[in-house]
Amino acid sequence: MKILSVVGARPQFVKLAPVADACRGRGVEHIIVHTGQHYDPMLSDVFFADLHIPDPDVHLDVGSAGHGAQTGAILARMDEVLLEHRPDWVLVYGDTNSTLAGALSAVKLHLPVAHLEAGLRSFNRAMPEEHNRVLTDHAADLLLAPTQVAMDHLANEGLAARSTLVGDVMVDVLMKVRSELTDPEAVLADLGLERGSFSIATIHRAENTDDPLRLAGIIQGLQQIDHPVVLLAHPRLRDRAQAQALELEGGALTVRDPLPYPALIGAVDAARGVVTDSGGLQKEAFALRTPCTTVRSETEWVETVELGWNVLIDPRTGTAGQIACAASRPHPTATDATPYGDGHAATAVLDALLDGADMVV
Ligand code: UD1
C-alpha cells in the first residue's frame, strides 16, 4: 500500500504529523508532497522539525499568488508527480488551495482520492475555503469526516456511501504534543506573562484582513480587552496592516511572530482566553478547555459553541466593544464531552484507507 499526501499550508502540516506516524507504525509507504503554498520557515519548516514529520519527498515550490494562479500552478506540477509515484491513495487535507488542486489532479488521472477533514461546511460562499471543501468532497472517492455533524452534511449532499467517521487527527497531535511538553512554563517566561492572565489572538482570514474597516474594528476590539493580549501575527495580517497604515500594537495588544506548534499549545493551555478566526485554534482551545472568542459570522466547529466554550462575534456587524466584552466573559461550565474523538483518529484513517479500496467507484 502506498499513500501520497499532498500538503502545503500550516494546518495541513499539523494534520499530516499523526498520519505520517501511523503510516510508519503500520509499515505503509508514504510519499509527502509539499506544494510550497506556505514557505516562511515559521509557517512550514518548524512544523516538520517539531512534529518529527519526515522531510517532503517532493517540493513543488509554488509560493504565493492569486487563487487561480496558485491552484493552477499546483495542478500543473502535480500530474508528473502522481504519474511517477502512482499511489494507491492520494490523501488531501482540509480546505486550502493545495487541497483542491491535489484532489483535482488525482481524479483526472483516475487515482483514488481520500479527503481528510471532509464534510465541514460554513455555508458561507464568500470564503475561498468553502468552495475548496465542497469541490474536494464531491471529487473524492473516500470522505474521512471528523464529526457526526460533518457526516450529516455529506449525507445531505448525497455523499453518504463514500463517507466514514474517523474523528479529528488534530486531537491526536494535540494530546501527544501536550504530553511531551518538557517545560510548559518556558513559553510564559518567553512571553513575560503569568499563567491565566492573558489571551492569545490570531487573525488571518482574507475576509477579515483584506477589508480595512473590518480589520481596524477587530484590532480596536483586541486593544480594548481588559487583560494583556498577545497577537501572533500571520504574514498576511502584517502585510495588510502595513498597507492600510494600521498600527497593531496598542492598549492591551502586543504583537509577536507565529509560534511553533508545541509553544502554541503551551501558550493556549496557559491562557485565560483565545480570540481567533482560525478553525484549528477553536478546537485546540476547546480541547485545552480555554474559552474561545471567534471573530467570524459562523463556524464549522459548531460543537464548541453548543457546549458553551466558543462565542461568535460577527465581524460584519459586531463592534470592537463586543469583541472586548466577549473576550472578558466568565469561564464556561465544565464539560467532559469529546466531540472530536479520543486521539486515535489517525489509526481510523489508516484502517479506512487499508479497507477502502473496494469503496472506490
Ligand atoms: C491559507 C488557507 C487557509 C488556512 C491558512 C492557514 C487557502 C485559500 N487558504 O490561508 O484556509 O487557514 O492557509 O494559515 O488556501 N504568506 C507569506 N508567507 C507564507 C505564506 C503566505 O508571507 O509562507 C503571505 C503572502 O502575502 C500570501 C498571503 O500570506 O499572499 C496569503 O497566503 P495564502 O497561502 O494564499 O493563504 P493563507 O491566508 O495563509
Cα separation values, 179 from 115, 176, 266, Å: 28, 5, 11
The bridge status of strand 273-276 relative to strand 199-202 is parallel
Ligand 1 pocket check for 238: Cβ under 6 Å:
no
Q: DSSP character for 96? A: S
Which residue type is seen at 231? L
Ligand 1 site, residue 207, Cβ cutoff 6 A:
no
Domain ranges of the chain: 2-168+341-355, 178-327
In DSSP terms, which residues pair with 202 in a beta bridge? 276
Q: Name residues whose C-beta falls within 8 Å of residue 123's C-beta, 6 or more positions apart in sequence.
A: 130, 298
Q: 38 C-alpha to center of ligand 1: Å?
A: 6
CA–CA distances in Å: residue 107 to residues 83, 113, 139, 142, 204: 12, 7, 7, 12, 31
Residue in the block written with cell 448525497: 158
Given the candidates 3.40.50.300, 3.30.750.24, 3.30.230.80, 3.40.50.2000, the CATH classification of the domain at 2-168+341-355 is 3.40.50.2000
User: Atom 20, ligand 1: which residue's CA is nearest?
Assistant: 38
Alpha-carbon distance of 220 to 202, in angstroms, equals: 14
- Give the Å distances, CA to CA, from 149 to 4, 88, 164, 337: 27, 28, 12, 15
Residues contacting 28, CB < 8 A, separation 6+: 1, 2, 3, 22, 350, 354
Question: Quick check: 95 and 12 in contact, CB under 8 A?
Answer: no
Q: What is the pTM of this model?
A: 0.95
Task: State which ligand 1 atom lies nearest to the alpha carbon of 235.
Answer: 22
User: Torsion-angle region of residue 111: left (phi > 0), alpha (psi -120 to 50) or beta?
Assistant: beta
Span 309-325, pLDDT tens digits: 999 999 999 899 999 99
Cell of 59: 517540493
* pLDDT in single tens digits along all 361 residues of the chain: 999 999 999 999 999 999 999 999 999 999 999 999 999 999 999 999 999 999 999 999 999 999 999 999 999 999 999 999 999 999 999 999 999 999 999 999 999 999 999 999 999 999 999 999 999 999 999 999 999 999 999 999 999 999 999 999 999 999 999 999 878 788 899 889 999 999 999 999 999 999 999 999 999 999 999 999 999 999 999 999 999 999 999 999 999 999 999 999 999 999 999 999 999 999 999 999 999 999 999 999 999 999 999 999 999 998 999 999 999 999 999 999 999 999 999 999 999 999 986 555 4
Per DSSP, what are the bridge partners of residue 231? 201, 255
Q: Is there a shared CATH topology between the 2-168+341-355 domain and the 178-327 domain?
A: yes
Of the residues 153, 204, 227, 234, only one is catalytic, namely: 204
Question: Could you confirm whether 234 is annotated as catalytic?
Answer: no
pLDDT tens sequence across 80-98: 999 999 999 999 999 999 9
Strands (DSSP E) contained in 267-352 are 273-276, 292-294, 310-312
Q: Which CATH number, 2.30.110.10, 3.40.30.10, 3.40.50.2000, 3.30.470.10, labels domain 178-327?
A: 3.40.50.2000
Nearest CA residue ID for atom 28, ligand 1: 236
